[in-house]
C-alpha cells in the first residue's frame, strides 16, 4: 500500500501536480502547459515526479483530480477546483477567509469558513474579461511577454482607460491607444486595472473578509496584484507558488480519503 | 476634415439650461417644499401617464433621463458595476442598472442620486424591463408601486385593451386619491392635458421644420432639446420653452440657415442616442455633411392627445405608443419619415440595452429599404454604457456607409 | 436516441423519452393524421389549440448556436434557434404559431414572425401582466375569445363550448398525470422526470396521456429512496434538453422541486373545471398558475412560492438558471436568491447560453453541491 497522495489540477492553460508524503508535506510538485491533452501532460508530470523521488505508481495511495480536465482523468475522485482551492489556501493560510483566484479562463472569489469549507463563491461570466486569457490577448496585442506586463505596468505615468467588457472590443481599444502613441506601460496599467476592477466587482457579491489571499497564475502579475489591493483597499497575501494551491488542496483531500 | 466648426449652436440652449436646471433644483430640494405643500415625489417611467399624476400635484422624476445624465457625466460604467456587484447581469438595460447602482454609489452619482420617491409609477408601454426595474426600486424604497399595464398592440388598439387600460386608470385614480389625500379633479386633469397637448404639438411643429432643406436642426439638437418634453409635459414651463425654441427654429427656416454648414446628406436616426459618445459619434457624420433631420426616438414624444373623455383619451394615447406596436407599424412610420423629410438614408442604433426597440430593427430595415430604395446602416452600441462601444469598428462602418452615399 | 437508462424496459416510457429527445422532429411520420400548431411559452393556452382541432407543439431550439440574420447576437438562443429553424423551412407543416406576449423578446419575435412567416399563420395573445383584479380577468377573457376565433379561422373549425370542455378536460388529465410524476420526483433520476414532462409539450395530447398512464406503474417501480443525494430546487425558463438535470444527478444532486417553464411550471396550477363556463376555467387557470417573472401579482410572490416549494420538498439548495440575454429571469434572479437565502436555502445563479451545461457550469454546480454537503 502506497504512502503518498497525489493532487492533479488540469487547468485550461496549465497542469499542476502535487505529491504529499504521509505527513502531509509537499514531497514534490510540477507544472506544465496543458496544451491539447492536459491528461497526458498530467501523466507525464506525475511519472517525472515519481521518478525523481524514486517511487513507483503503486506508492501513490490516493489521487484526487481537479480543474477542467478532472472529469476524464483516471483518479480516485474528482472535485471542483473551488473546493480544492479553498482547502489548499486554508492549509497554507489558516486565517484566510477570502480567496481571489484568477486563472487562465476563470476568476473566482471564494469566501471560506474557518477550516477551509466554502461558504460562498462567485465566478466570472462566460467571458474572458477579468481572466488570465484577457491578459494574454492584450500582451499579444502589445508584443510584451506575458510575464513582464505586471512589472512594466507599474512604470506607467498616465494609466490608459480600457472600458470595454468584451475582450475583442478591449483589444481594439488597446490598438486605438497604440495608434494614438500611448506608452506601453500606460496601456498595460489600464489592462491590469481592468482585470482587477472586474474581479473587485465580483468580490462584492460574496463579501470580502480578511485575510484575503490572491492566488492563481495571475497572482504573479505584480500590476494586477497592486491594482487589486488598491481597489479593495486592503492588503493581499500571495502564496509562494500561487499556481499549485488547488492541486495542493486536491492532494490534501486525497490524504483525507485514505 | 475641416478644422472649422461645422455645426451651428442654438440660442435657445441657454433657456434650455435654465429650464432644466430649475426643474432639477426643484427636484433636489423637494424635501423642503414637497411635504409642506402636500406634493409627493414620484419616480416614473418615460411612458407613464404624467398628466394624471400632475393633476394630483405629484412631482414626477424620470430615472430614464437621469440614466442619460449619468451617461453624459461618464459614470454609467461605474454605476453599472455597482449593480453587477449586487448580482444584476451586465446584459440588462443600463438605464435600469445604472439607476440601481446610483442608489448605493451616491458618492459618484450626479446630484448624489435622485431624491427618495414617495411612490413609483411604471407603465409597460415602452418595455417589460420597467416592470422588473420598478419592482426592484419598490423593494429598495418600500413605497407604493403603481403599474399601468398597456397591452402590446400587434395591430390597432382593440376595444378590450382600451377598456382594460381605462379600468386601470380608474383604479390608479383612486389609489392616487389615497396616497395624496387629494380628490380627483377632472377639470384639473383636463387643464394639464391641455398643456401637455400644447407642448407635444409645439414639439411636433418644431420637428416638422426639419423637412426644410437645409434642415435647421441636427439629431444632436433634437436629443438635447427633448429634455423638457420628457420632464415638463403638462406644464406651463414646457409650453414656454418650446414656444421660444419654435420661434428660433422657424426663424432659421425663413432665413435658410442650416444646422450644418454644408448639408449634403439627410439621414433618419432610429433608437435612443448613444449618450456616452453623443458628440464624438455624430461628429463622424457632421464632418462629412451628413445631417440627421429626424428620428424615431424624440418623435415618440410628439404624440397627439385626443379629445373626449380624459381617461379614455389617456388610455389610447399611452397604449398606442410606437414602442408598443408591431414592426410593420414601425416600418411604416420610418418610411413616412424618409418621405416627409426627403432623407437619403437611415441609421439604426442596435442598442443592447433596449430589446423592444432593437430586436426588430433588421426586419424593419429590410422592409424600409425595399419600399424606399434608401440604404440603412446598423451600428451596435449601448445608449448609456461606454463599455459596449467599439470605436474603430463603428468608425469603419460609418465611413464606408457615408462614402457609399457619396459624402 | 435517448441516453436515459430505462431499466424497466417499459415500452411506453421508452416512447416518452424518445419523443422528448426528438422534440417533435418526426411528427409528420409518427402522427400523420394530426395538424400541429406551434407555441413558445407556458402562457400559450393549449386548450384553445385543442378546441380548434389542432395539436399544440412547443417550439424548442435545436442543438448548436443559431445566428439568424434577423436577430442581433444579444438576443436569447431560444428566439434565435427557433427563428432559424423556421426560416430554414422545418416548421412549414405547422398550421400556425402562437405567441403569448410575455417578454420583450417574444414580443419582437412575434412581430418578426408576422413579417417572415405571414400574418395569417401568426396568432398573438396578450395576457395581462398585472394578473390581479376584475379588469384583468375580463380583458383576459376577451383576448382569449379573440385567440379562439383566430385559431378557428386557421383550422377551419370554429370551437364550440363542447370542444372547449373536451379540451379543458384533456389538459386537466395531462396536468394531473404530470403532478403524479412530479410527486415521484425525489425518488426518480432528475433527467428522467424532466424528459417525461417535456414530452407532454411535444406529443399529441391524447397520445401523451395514454402513454404516460401506461408508463406510471413502471415509474412507481423505479422510484427509490434517493439516499444521500442533495435535494435541489431548479427555477428557470425554457430547457430544451436534460443536460443540466443530468449533470446535477451526476454530481450527486437530485432535482426535488422544479419551476422551469418547460418543466413542472408548465403543468402547475388549478385543474378544477366549471363545466358551465369552460372559457372562464381556462382564463382562471392561466391567471392562477405559478407566475413566471414576466407577470406580476405581488412583489414577493415568486420568492414566496418557490420558498414554500423548496421547503415542502426539503430542498437543500436552489439553482436559478438564467438563459443568456433572458431579461425577466436575470432580473428575477437577484430578489429570488435573496429571498431563498433568507429562508436558509443556499442559491446558485447559473447562466447558460442555451440548455447545455458544459465544463464551466460543471465546476460551479459541483462546487455548489460540495458546499452543501
- Is C138 contained in some domain? yes
Among C104, C142, C296, beta carbon nearest to B147: C296
For chain A, which domains are there?
4-86+244-257 (3.30.420.40), 95-238 (3.30.420.40)
Compute the nearest-CA separation of A103 from chain C (Å): 13
CATH number at residue B24: 3.40.50.11890
Q: Is B209 part of any domain? A: no
Is B255 in the A-facing interface, judged by CB distances under 8 Å? no
Distance in Å, alpha carbon of A3 to nearest chain B alpha carbon: 45
Contact A232, A203 (CB under 8 A): yes
Same domain, yes or no: B180 and B273: no
Asked which of C155, C188, C209 is the last residue of a domain, the reply is: C155
3-state helix, strand, coil in chain A (%, to 5): 45, 20, 35
Together in a domain, C258 and C347: yes
**pLDDT value for A201:** 79
Nearest CA in chain C to B153: C126
Whether A126 and C324 lie within 8 Å, measured CB to CB? yes
Contact between C124 and B154 using a beta-carbon 8 Å cutoff: yes
Q: Are A194 and B74 in contact (CB under 8 A)?
A: no
Residue B205: inside a domain, yes or no? no
Residue C18 lies in a domain: no
C8/chain B closest Cα distance in angstroms:
44
H or E stretch covering B126: none
Are C146 and C177 in the same domain?
no
Is C170 found in the same domain as C148? Answer: no
Q: What is the pLDDT of residue B304?
A: 81
Contact between B85 and A205 using a beta-carbon 8 Å cutoff:
yes
Do you know the residue count of chain A? 258
Shared domain for B39 and B99, answered yes or no, is yes
**A201 vs B81, B388, B391: nearest CB:** B81
Distance from CA of B101 to the nearest CA of A (A): 12
pLDDT at C1: 37
Residues B45 and B170 in one domain: yes
Tally of domains within chain B: 2
Residue C169 is assigned to a structural domain of this protein: yes
Question: How far is it, in rounded angstroms, from Cα A15 to Cα A49?
Answer: 13
Residue C17 domain flag: no
C340 in the same domain as C234: yes
Q: Which residues of C touch A119 (CB under 8 A)?
A: 371
A205–B contact, CB cutoff 8 A? yes
Put simply, whether B167 touches C (Cβ < 8 Å) is yes
The whole domain housing C309 covers 163-372
Residue A245's pLDDT is what? 97
DSSP helix/strand/coil, B285: helix
> For A80, which of C324, C353, C367 is closest by C-beta distance?
C367
Give the list of residues 6+ apart from residue B39 with CB closer than 8 angstroms, or none.
B33, B57, B58, B59
pTM given for the model: 0.91
Q: Do C146 and C224 have their domain in common? A: no
Give the pLDDT mean for B241-251. Answer: 98
Whether B171 maps to a domain, the answer reads: yes
Nearest neighbour of B128 by CB, restricted to C72, C103, C130: C103
Instruction: Residue C245: give its domain's CATH number.
Output: 3.40.50.11900
Q: What's the grid cell of residue C226?
A: 434517493
Q: What is the 3-state secondary structure (H, E, C) of chain C?
A: CCCCCCCCCCHHHHHHHHHHHHCCCCHHHHCCCCCEEEECCCCCCHHHHHHCCCEEEECCCCCCCCCCCCCCCCCCHHHHHHHHHHHCCCCCCCCCEEEECCCHHHHHHHHHHHHHHCHHHEEEECCCCECCCHHHHHHHHHHHHHHHHHHHHHHCCCCCHHHHHHHHHHHHHHHHHHHHHHHHHHHCCHHHHHHHHHHCCCCCHHHHHHHHHHHHHHHHHHCCCCCCCEEEEEEECCCCCCHHHHHHHHCCEEEEEEEECCCHHHCCCCCCCCCCCHHHHHHHHHHHCCCCCCCECCCCHHHHHHHHHHHHCCCCEEEEEEECCCHHHHHHHHHHHHHHHHCCCEEEEEEECCCCCCHHHHHHHHHHHHHHC
Of A68, A118, A125, the CB nearest to C367: A118
Question: Can you give the pLDDT at residue B3?
Answer: 41
Residues B158 and B58 in one domain: yes
Q: What is the mean pLDDT of residues B243-247?
A: 98
Q: What residues in C contact A120, CB-CB < 8 Å?
A: 371
Both B156 and B297 in one domain: the answer is no
Query: Based on the domain organization, do B67 and B170 belong to the same domain?
Result: yes
| Per-residue pLDDT at A126 | 64
Give domain status of residue C125, yes or no: yes
Whole-angstrom Cα distance, residue A247 to residue A233?
29
- Number of CB pairs, chain B paired with chain C, less than 8 A apart: 147
Residue C24 lies in a domain: no
Same domain, C43 and C83: yes
Task: Return the number of CB contacts < 8 Å for A and C.
Answer: 42
Q: Is residue B206 domain-resident?
A: no
* C318/chain A closest Cα distance in angstroms: 13
Query: What is the reported pLDDT for B400?
Result: 87
Examine the pLDDT at B162 and tell me if it is beyond 50: yes
**CA B306, B311, B20: angle at the middle one, nearest 5?**
70
Give the domain-ending residue among C155, C188, C212.
Answer: C155
Within-domain flag for B113: yes
C-alpha distances out from residue C302 to B131, B208, C326, Å: 15, 48, 17
Q: Do B107 and B48 share a domain, yes or no?
A: yes
Among B391, B393, B394, the strongest candidate for a mutation testing the A interface, having the largest count of A CBs within 10 A, is B391
Tell me what pLDDT residue A164 has.
76
Q: Which domain holds residue B175?
A: 13-187
Q: Residue range B326-340: average pLDDT?
A: 97
How many structural domains are present in chain C?
A: 2
Phi-psi region of C284 (alpha: psi -120 to 50; beta: other; left: phi over 0): alpha
Mean pLDDT, range A66-89, rounded to an integer: 92
- More confident of the two residues B4 and A48: A48
- Are B168 and B280 found together in one domain? no
Whether B242 is covered by a domain: the verdict is no
Verify that B113 and B260 share a domain, yes or no. Answer: no
Cross-chain Cβ contact A118/C370 below 8 Å: yes
Query: Is residue C229 included in any domain, yes or no?
Result: yes
Q: In terms of domains, do C137 and C213 share one?
A: no
Is residue C217 domain-shared with residue C311, that is, in the same domain? yes
Q: Which CATH number goes with the domain that contains B341?
A: 3.40.50.11900
Q: Taking CB atoms and an 8 Å cutoff, what residues of chain B touch C327? A: 91-93, 128-129, 132, 355
Domain boundary among the residues C113, C128, C155 is at C155
Question: How high is the ipTM of this complex?
Answer: 0.96
Average pLDDT (B207-224) is 97
Mean pLDDT of A86-113: 93
pLDDT in tens, chain C (373 residues): 345 566 677 899 999 999 999 999 999 999 999 999 999 999 999 999 999 999 999 999 998 888 898 999 999 999 999 999 999 999 999 999 999 999 999 999 999 999 999 999 999 999 999 998 789 999 999 999 999 999 999 999 999 999 999 999 999 999 999 999 999 999 999 999 999 999 999 999 999 999 999 999 999 999 999 999 999 999 999 999 999 999 999 999 999 999 999 999 999 998 888 989 999 999 999 999 999 999 998 899 999 999 999 999 999 999 999 999 999 999 999 999 999 999 999 999 999 989 999 888 999 999 999 999 8
Minimal CA separation from B89 to chain C, in Å: 6
Tens digit of pLDDT for each residue in A160-187?
988 777 777 788 888 888 888 999 999 9
Over residues A225-240, the mean pLDDT reads 94
Interface residues from chain A to C (CB-CB < 8 Å)? 68, 71, 79-83, 105-106, 117-121, 123, 125-126
Instruction: Output the pLDDT for position A2.
Output: 75
CATH number, residue C59: 3.40.50.11890
Query: pLDDT per residue over B352-400, tens digit each?
Result: 999 999 999 999 999 999 999 999 999 999 999 998 898 878 888 899 8
Q: Is B97 on the interface with C (CB under 8 A)?
A: no
Q: Tell me what pLDDT residue A202 has.
A: 82
What is the average pLDDT value for chain B, to the nearest integer?
95
Can you tell me the distance from the alpha carbon of B60 to that of B198, in angstroms, rounded to the nearest whole number?
19
- State how far residue A30 is from chain B, nearest Cα, in angstroms: 36
Using CB atoms, pick whichever of B87, B90, B386 lies closest to residue A163: B386
Cross-chain Cβ contact A79/C364 below 8 Å: no
Interface probe with C: pick from B85, B86, B89, most Cβ of C within 10 Å: B89
B107 SS3 class = coil
Q: Which residues in chain A (157-176) have CB-CB distances under 8 A to chain B? A: 163-166, 168-169, 172-173, 175-176
Least Cα distance to C111 among B330, B161, B320 occurs for: B330
Mutate which: C341, C363, C369, vs A, most A CBs within 10 A: C363
In this complex, the residue of C71, C328, C333 whose CB is nearest that of residue B128 is C328
Residue to test with chain B: of A201, A205, A231, most B Cβ within 10 A: A201
| pLDDT score recorded for residue A68 | 87
Q: Residue C16 domain-assigned?
A: no
C-alpha distance from C196 to closest chain B C-alpha (Å) = 32
Please tell me whether residues B221 and B144 are part of one structural domain. Answer: no
Same domain, B363 and B264: yes
Mean pLDDT of B277-297: 95
The pLDDT assigned to B2 comes to 38
Same domain, B338 and B298: yes
Amino acid at each position: 500500500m502506497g504512502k503518498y497522495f497525489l493532487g492533479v489540477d488540469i487547468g485550461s492553460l496549465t497542469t499542476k501536480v502535487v505529491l504529499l508524503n504521509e505527513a502531509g508535506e509537499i514531497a514534490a510538485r510540477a507544472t506544465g502547459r496543458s496544451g491539447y491533452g492536459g491528461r497526458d501532460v498530467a501523466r507525464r508530470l506525475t511519472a517525472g515526479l515519481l521518478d525523481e523521488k524514486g517511487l513507483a505508481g503503486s506508492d501513490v495511495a490516493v489521487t484526487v483530480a481537479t480543474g477542467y480536465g478532472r472529469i476524464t482523468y483516471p483518479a480516485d475522485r474528482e472535485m471542483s477546483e473551488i473546493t480544492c482551492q479553498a482547502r489548499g489556501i486554508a492549509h497554507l493560510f489558516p486565517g484566510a477567509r477570502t480567496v481571489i483566484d484568477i486563472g487562465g479562463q476563470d476568476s473566482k472569489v471564494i469566501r471560506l469558513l474557518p477550516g477551509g469549507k466554502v461558504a460562498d463563491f462567485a465566478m466570472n461570466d462566460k467571458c474572458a474579461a477579468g481572466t488570465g486569457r484577457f491578459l494574454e490577448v492584450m500582451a499579444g496585442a502589445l508584443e510584451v511577454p506575458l510575464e513582464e506586463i505586471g512589472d512594466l505596468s507599474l512604470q506607467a505615468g498616465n494609466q490608459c482607460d480600457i472600458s470595454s467588457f468584451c475582450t475583442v472590443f478591449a483589444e481594439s481599444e488597446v490598438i486605438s491607444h497604440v495608434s494614438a502613441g500611448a506608452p506601453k506601460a500606460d496601456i498595460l496599467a489600464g489592462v491590469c486595472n481592468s482585470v482587477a476592477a472586474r474581479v473587485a466587482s465580483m468580490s462584492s457579491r460574496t463579501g470580502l473578509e480578511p485575510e484575503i489571499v490572491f492566488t492563481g497564475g495571475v497572482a504573479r502579475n505584480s500590476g494586477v496584484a497592486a491594482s487589486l489591493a488598491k481597489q479593495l483597499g486592503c492588503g493581499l497575501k500571495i502564496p509562494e507558488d500561487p499556481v499549485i494551491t488547488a492541486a495542493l488542496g486536491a492532494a490534501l483531500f486525497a490524504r483525507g480519503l485514505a | 476634415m475641416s478644422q472649422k466648426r461645422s455645426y451651428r449652436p442654438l440660442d435657445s440652449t441657454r433657456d434650455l439650461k435654465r429650464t432644466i436646471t430649475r426643474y432639477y433644483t426643484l427636484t433636489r430640494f423637494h424635501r423642503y417644499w414637497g411635504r409642506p405643500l402636500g406634493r409627493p415625489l414620484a419616480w416614473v417611467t418615460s411612458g407613464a401617464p404624467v398628466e394624471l399624476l400632475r393633476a394630483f400635484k405629484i412631482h414626477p422624476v424620470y430615472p430614464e433621463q437621469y440614466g442619460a445624465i449619468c451617461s453624459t457625466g461618464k459614470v454609467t460604467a461605474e454605476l453599472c458595476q455597482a449593480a453587477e456587484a449586487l448580482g444584476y447581469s451586465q446584459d440588462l438595460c443600463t438605464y435600469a442598472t445604472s439607476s440601481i447602482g446610483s442608489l448605493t454609489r451616491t458618492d459618484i452619482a450626479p446630484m448624489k442620486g435622485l431624491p427618495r420617491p414617495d411612490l413609483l409609477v411604471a407603465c409597460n408601454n415602452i418595455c417589460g424591463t420597467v416592470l422588473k426595474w420598478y419592482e426592484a426600486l419598490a423593494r429598495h424604497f418600500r413605497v407604493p408601486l403603481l403599474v399601468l399595464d398597456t397591452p402590446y398592440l400587434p395591430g390597432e388598439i382593440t376595444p378590450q385593451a382600451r377598456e382594460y387600460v381605462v379600468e386601470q386608470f380608474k383604479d390608479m385614480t383612486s389609489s392616487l386619491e389615497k396616497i395624496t389625500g387629494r380628490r380627483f379633479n377632472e377639470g384639473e386633469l383636463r387643464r394639464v392635458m391641455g398643456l401637455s397637448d400644447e407642448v407635444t404639438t409645439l414639439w411636433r411643429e418644431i420637428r416638422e421644420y426639419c423637412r426644410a432643406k437645409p434642415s435647421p436642426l441636427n439629431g444632436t439638437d433634437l436629443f438635447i432639446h427633448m429634455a423638457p418634453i420628457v420632464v415638463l409635459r403638462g406644464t406651463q414651463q414646457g409650453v414656454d420653452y418650446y414656444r421660444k425654441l419654435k420661434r428660433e427654429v422657424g426663424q432659421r427656416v425663413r432665413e435658410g440657415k442650416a444646422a450644418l454648414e454644408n448639408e449634403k446628406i439627410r439621414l433618419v436616426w432610429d433608437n435612443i442616442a448613444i449618450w456616452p459618445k453623443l458628440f464624438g459619434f455624430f461628429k463622424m457624420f457632421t464632418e462629412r455633411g451628413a445631417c440627421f433631420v429626424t428620428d424615431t426616438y424624440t418623435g415618440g414624444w410628439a404624440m397627439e392627445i385626443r379629445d373626449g373623455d380624459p381617461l379614455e383619451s389617456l388610455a389610447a394615447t399611452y397604449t398606442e405608443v410606437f414602442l408598443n406596436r408591431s414592426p410593420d407599424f414601425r416600418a411604416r412610420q420610418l418610411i413616412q419619415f424618409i418621405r416627409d423629410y426627403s432623407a437619403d438614408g437611415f441609421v439604426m442604433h442596435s442598442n443592447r440595452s433596449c430589446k423592444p426597440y432593437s430586436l426588430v430593427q433588421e426586419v424593419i430595415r429590410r422592409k424600409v429599404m425595399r419600399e424606399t430604395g434608401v440604404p440603412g446602416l446598423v451600428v451596435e452600441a449601448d445608449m448609456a454604457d461606454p463599455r459596449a462601444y467599439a470605436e474603430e469598428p463603428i468608425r469603419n462602418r460609418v465611413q464606408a456607409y457615408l462614402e457609399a452615399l457619396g459624402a | 436516441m435517448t441516453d436515459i437508462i430505462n431499466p424497466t424496459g417499459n415500452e411506453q416510457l421508452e416512447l416518452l423519452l424518445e419523443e422528448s429527445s426528438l422534440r417533435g422532429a418526426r411528427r409528420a411520420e409518427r402522427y400523420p393524421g394530426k395538424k400541429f400548431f406551434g407555441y413558445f411559452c407556458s402562457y400559450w393556452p393549449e386548450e384553445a389549440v385543442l378546441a380548434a382541432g389542432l395539436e399544440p407543439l412547443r417550439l424548442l431550439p435545436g442543438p448548436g448556436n443559431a445566428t439568424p440574420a434577423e436577430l442581433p447576437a444579444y438576443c436569447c438562443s431560444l428566439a434565435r434557434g427557433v427563428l432559424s429553424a423556421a426560416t430554414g423551412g422545418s416548421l412549414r407543416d405547422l398550421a400556425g404559431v402562437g405567441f403569448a406576449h410575455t417578454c420583450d423578446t417574444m414580443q419582437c419575435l412575434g412581430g418578426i414572425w408576422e413579417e417572415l412567416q405571414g400574418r395569417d399563420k401568426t396568432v398573438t395573445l396578450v395576457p395581462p401582466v398585472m394578473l390581479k383584479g376584475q379588469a384583468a380577468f375580463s380583458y383576459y377573457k376577451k383576448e382569449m375569445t379573440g385567440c379562439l376565433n383566430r385559431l378557428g379561422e386557421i383550422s377551419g373549425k370554429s370551437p364550440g363550448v363542447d370542444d372547449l370542455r373536451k379540451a379543458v378536460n384533456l389538459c386537466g388529465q395531462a396536468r394531473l398525470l404530470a403532478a403524479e410524476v412530479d410527486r415521484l420526483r425525489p425518488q426518480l433520476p432528475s433527467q428522467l422526470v424532466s424528459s417525461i414532462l417535456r414530452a407532454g409539450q411535444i406529443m399529441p395530447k391524447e397520445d401523451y396521456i395514454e402513454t404516460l398512464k401506461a408508463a406510471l406503474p413502471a415509474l412507481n417501480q423505479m422510484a427509490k429512496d434517493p439516499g444521500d443525494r442533495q435535494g435541489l430546487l431548479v427555477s428557470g425558463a425554457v430547457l430544451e434538453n436534460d443536460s443540466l438535470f443530468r449533470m446535477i444527478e451526476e454530481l450527486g444532486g437530485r432535482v426535488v422541486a422544479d419551476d422551469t417553464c418547460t418543466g413542472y411550471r408548465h403543468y402547475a396550477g388549478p385543474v378544477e373545471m366549471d363545466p358551465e363556463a369552460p372559457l372562464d376555467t381556462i382564463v382562471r387557470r392561466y391567471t392562477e398558475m405559478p407566475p413566471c417573472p414576466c407577470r406580476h401579482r405581488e412583489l414577493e410572490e415568486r420568492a414566496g412560492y418557490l420558498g414554500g416549494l423548496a421547503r415542502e420538498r426539503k430542498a437543500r439548495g436552489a439553482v436559478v438558471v438564467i438563459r443568456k440575454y433572458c431579461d425577466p429571469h436575470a432580473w428575477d434572479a437577484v430578489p429570488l436568491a435573496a429571498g431563498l437565502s433568507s429562508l436558509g436555502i443556499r442559491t446558485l445563479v447559473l447562466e447558460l447560453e442555451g440548455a447545455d451545461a458544459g465544463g464551466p457550469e460543471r465546476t460551479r454546480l459541483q462546487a455548489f453541491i460540495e458546499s452543501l454537503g
